[in-house]
Structure 1
């Protein structure tokens, strides 16, 4: 597949719009990407040109994007770049869209709290529900001797 994959860092410019046609959930929003450069004359960082992309998300990514994103949020978007040229009334317009594969908040510019979405009910997707494994190390039982644990007697006082 000769697709142009991009990773873009910018700010959400419009509130995500959600649709649910027969083909499945879809969401879109505009992303503003502004280049920055060091201006030696001003001795400061300066904003350069701003590019705008229309970001398209599908299925679960669309649902999660609408629930998570707001105007002004700094985000990273990874996806397939699609450049289109349209002619209306003799005027040619070029637009750049990104079919998103992944969207996330830019943690270099703030914090986020991750929440997992619900999983499908057992039987609906053909998968059996598995219990979440316990990731905590259990406390050792003092009644059970362990080869790794060294029992020490108190030092004799002389």
Structure 2
């Protein structure tokens, strides 16, 4: 398995778009990631060039992204990285970085988020694995 997996932090550049592809849901959105570097000699932070990633999230992950994410949200994305190149109408070669997401979440360094568990359990999860509700007194 020689796939490039990436994890990056960025900001949602637009609203999540939902489509049907091959009979399943796919959510598509773009994320802008701008690296920051600290220059010790000047004591200042400097932004590097912004990289834009096109993200696809399939099936339940896509549904959850559409229900949870909004333009401008800080997110963390992990998934398989691919690159596409093409020549545009002006005969300039263009490149796009695309990520097939495995995991997506809010970047909690930037704020708080509330989690709502979906109805089903994931593979290998039993009732004993589920945490007790916080408002329950023993």
Question: Normalising by structure 1, what TM-score?
Answer: 0.72
In the TM superposition, what is the alpha-carbon distance from 1:41 to its structure 2 partner? 5.9
Map 1:113-128 to 2 at 5 A.
113-119=114-120
User: Is 1:28 matched with 2:7?
Assistant: no
Map 1:1-158 to 2 at 5 A.
1-40=1-40, 42-89=42-89, 90-119=91-120, 132-133=127-128
CA deviation string 1:15-48 (max 9, x = no partner): 1101124420001111000010113465222222
Larger Rg: 1
Q: How has the CA–CA distance of structure 1 residues 117 and 94 changed in structure 2, closer, same or farther, with 3 Å as cutoff?
A: same
The 1-side partners of 2:21 and 2:73 are apart by 27
SS in 1 for 2:116: coil
Higher strand share: 2
**Number of equivalenced pairs:** 129
Higher RCO (CA 8 Å, separation ≥ 6 residues): 2
Q: CA RMSD in A?
A: 2.5
